[in-house]
Amino acid sequence: MHIAVSFHTAVLLYPLATVAHVLEEWPGFVAWAQRHGSTTYSRRGYVTTHVAAVALSVMAALAVRTVPGVWSGLLFFGAFFGPSIACNALFHIGGTVLTRTYCPGVMTSVLLYLPATIVVIGTALRDGVLNPGALAATMVFAAVFHVAEVGHNVFARW
């Protein structure tokens, strides 16, 4: 598959996909999380987390476009795109499969997050933003970060 856009253009998928995902989640994710995660998960917690997620997605996409390089690429994938797009897609797909119920956010995870992950990672590797080893290490960090965040916010485990 040939991807005709550059990494610095592809990162603009991040805020667009984030907004679409939040719109899908909005009506039902809090109730789903209270049923399958923690009864203490609140609409306020959801709003706080997701307003920050949208703002950070815009800032991270603009920052990695403005300050290109290995360090911005590592930060972009490890702290922003990796946890909120790539890992979050797996959370929603896994949540739907494990609970055998619709986990709000699974549709955008399958239709937007997974393709965006392929495009953004593919362009980052092709354009030399990160090498495969650095990208893999960064995505492992992103997965740990995402598990910690979801474990705390949605499941109230720590």
- Whether 32 is in a domain gets the answer yes
- Whether 41 is in a domain gets the answer yes
Distance CA 86, CA 88 (A): 6
Distance CA 11, CA 63 (A): 10
> How many domains does one find in the chain?
1
- Whether 50 is in a domain gets the answer yes
Taking only the tens place, the pLDDT of each residue in 25-59 is 999 999 999 999 999 999 999 999 999 999 999 99
Q: Which residue in this structure is represented by tokens 């987390």? A: 49
> The whole model's pTM is what?
0.90
- Whether 158 is in a domain gets the answer no
Residue-range definition of the domain harbouring residue 139: 7-153
Answer whether 3's CB lies under 8 Å from 122's CB: yes
Answer whether 15's CB lies under 8 Å from 54's CB: yes
- Whether 2 is in a domain gets the answer no
